Structure 1
């Protein structure tokens, strides 16, 4: 039964809206939990005047409040969905309600996947933004002996400087060059 074949009802529309809202809220919860795990401040919590890193604790407390709020919204939406489902089951025949629920499950999955991919891009952007802030690449430390263009991520790792290097006596430069070339070739193949 396609979307346009079942009878329209305010309950069906309410159920569809609730499914889309809960998909967004669950993705928001996942996004906020990932931000908390990696100590990343989401863009919506950043204020224009930049504060020193000591305020990271304040940002994380704000993030905890957002996570708590998201959990309560998910709980409320779950209750509303259960109530709407009971109303649909009581007002419509079983085959119609099952068709509606299966169609709404598809819509939920599409909405969840779409928002999930957007959130994944946001987290990757925040990672790159933080990495670019913290790492200053000194080009004198990197020499390209091949004709292959070195990706930014390889330059970032290679240009960390002497703080991250090994003791000179134990450094085997051939192994380092081979591992960097392997990383470049793997990146070029992708």
Structure 2
């Protein structure tokens, strides 16, 4: 990376840390904390959440016909999500092991923590679980794909890519043939240690 790009990358890391601190302050203001990946609420918060829970009768009465009519289509995506989840898990179990790439932990991407929110009724909790799984699978697949790209082609595109994965910024510049030949092995070696940047 050039000096300016490296400087900007460090600034992004600093800002992410600042954002994490701000999120932690907000958690404390809402009366909850994380201990060993488990959510703990301050005393009285859960009772207040239960008071705010909407019953199923009221929930369905407030739901639009569009919501009810499209629910089967939305939930039908569970089939491709499960298939891709299984297939990508098998893919990395075989290929990542063969190439010595550190495997992606599914549990870092798929979290079912919203079930402890007492203000959600059964349908809302099911919706949250579905979205947690769907978005978690997409995140998991994205990281597996990012590590695959780092192994085989750690080169930035000439065209602007919207929403590039976290590893992308460390990739070689488009057209840097010498860098590619000189650093490809370093990018691959970094994957053995689960690192995006070989430097």
TM-score (structure 1 length as normaliser): 0.29
Structure with higher RCO (Cα < 8 A, 6+ apart): 1
Larger strand percent: 2
Larger gyration radius, structure 1 or structure 2: 1
Going by fraction, where is helix more abundant, 1 or 2? Answer: 1
